[in-house]
Amino acid sequence: MSTVLQTHELVRTFGGFVATDHVNLAVEAGARHALIGPNGAGKTTLINLLTGYLEPTEGRVVLNGEDVTRMAQHERCRRGLVRTFQINQLFADMTVLESVAMAVAERHGLGTRWWKPLAAQAEAVDEAAQILQRLGLLSDAYERTRNLAYGRQRLIEIALALAQRPRVLLLDEPAAGVPTSESRELFEVIAQLPREVTILLIEHDMDLVFRFAERISVLVSGALLVEDTPEVIARHPRVRQVYLGEG
């Protein structure tokens, strides 16, 4: 297996506070990797350092063997490092198919003139429809995004991310705010994404994490406590103590 995404001694401080503490994280190609840890452990900060939303105080981020530590977010995105983002107002007023087709068109560099060349439009719509089918969203293609149930809206966020053709997809609590009845379905869809998309996911619901992940990294107070298989993590005394509140 090869490593697609890696951090070397990554540090991020806010004033005197150490939010990321010499983190060495390695995500293998095709991984279903989860990042867990208590509230405030630094999970979101780590994702922000990976995407380039935040600059590290020290250390390096390496994507497919290339040092991207100082690279802008859109440059990392072009290299296949993609995170989901919340549906904005523009997308909320569009239909599901329009939103995803627009994201595909943007990737092709067609920008806001995406409807101009008819062939390109048809291609973008075709690709968008394929993404919707993969996520079980095709039946909602002509609905306005804002009219969908919350769980479906979170799926559209994943559809918009897939439109970027990610090699590594970063999901920060993809089921946040989604009712339990819908979150299981959401995770089933995520689990069925093709293996060429490596997934690093943050989730606080342990049932969902243990069902999804093959590899789990536990972050505590900004530092990696342990990284292993779900079986080992579930039995790890320190993890049970700090994370599951035992002992």
List interacting residues with Mg ion (CB under 5 A).
Answer: 43-44
What is the DSSP pairing of strand 32-36 with strand 198-202?
A: parallel
96 vs 186 by CB, closer to Mg ion: 186
Query: Which residues 79-108 are close enough to bind ligand ADP by CB under 6 A?
Result: none
DSSP 87-124: --HHHHHSBHHHHHHHHHHHHTT-GGGTTSSHHHHHHH
Shortest spacing between CB 95 and ligand ADP, in angstroms: 33
What is the closest distance, in whole angstroms, from the C-beta atom of residue 165 to ligand ADP in the complex?
27
For 111: left if phi > 0, alpha if psi spans -120 to 50, otherwise beta; the answer is left
Name which of 32 and 43 has its Cβ closer to Mg ion.
43
In angstroms, what CA-CA distances link 10 with 19, 20, 62, 66, 203? 10, 7, 11, 16, 21
Q: Is residue 37 a contact residue for ligand ADP (CB under 6 A)?
A: yes
Binding status of residue 23 toward ligand ADP by CB under 6 A: no
Supply the DSSP symbol for 145. Answer: G
Amino acid identity, position 98? E
CA distance 105 to 112: 8
42 binds ligand ADP (CB under 6 A): yes
Q: Judged by CB under 6 A, which of 7, 45, 183, 198 binds ligand ADP? A: 45
Residue 113 identity (one-letter amino acid): R
Pairing of strands 66-67, 58-63: antiparallel
Which residue number, 15 or 65, has a Cβ lying nearer to ligand ADP?
A: 15
DSSP H or E run through 171:
strand 168-172
- CB 42, min distance to ligand ADP, A: 4
Minimum separation from the CB atom of position 17 to ligand ADP (A): 6
Does position 14 interact with ligand ADP (CB under 6 A)? The reply is: yes
Can residue 221 be called a binding residue for ligand ADP (CB under 6 A)? no
Pick one of Mg ion, ligand ADP, none as the site partner of residue 95 (Cβ within 5 to 8 A by kind). Answer: none
For ligand ADP, the binding residue among 9, 24, 40, 55 (CB under 6 A) is 40
Provide, rounded to whole angstroms, the least separation between the CB of residue 104 and ligand ADP.
Answer: 30
Collapsing DSSP states into helix, strand and coil, what is residue 221? coil
Using CB under 6 A, list all residues that contact ligand ADP: 14, 19, 37, 39-45
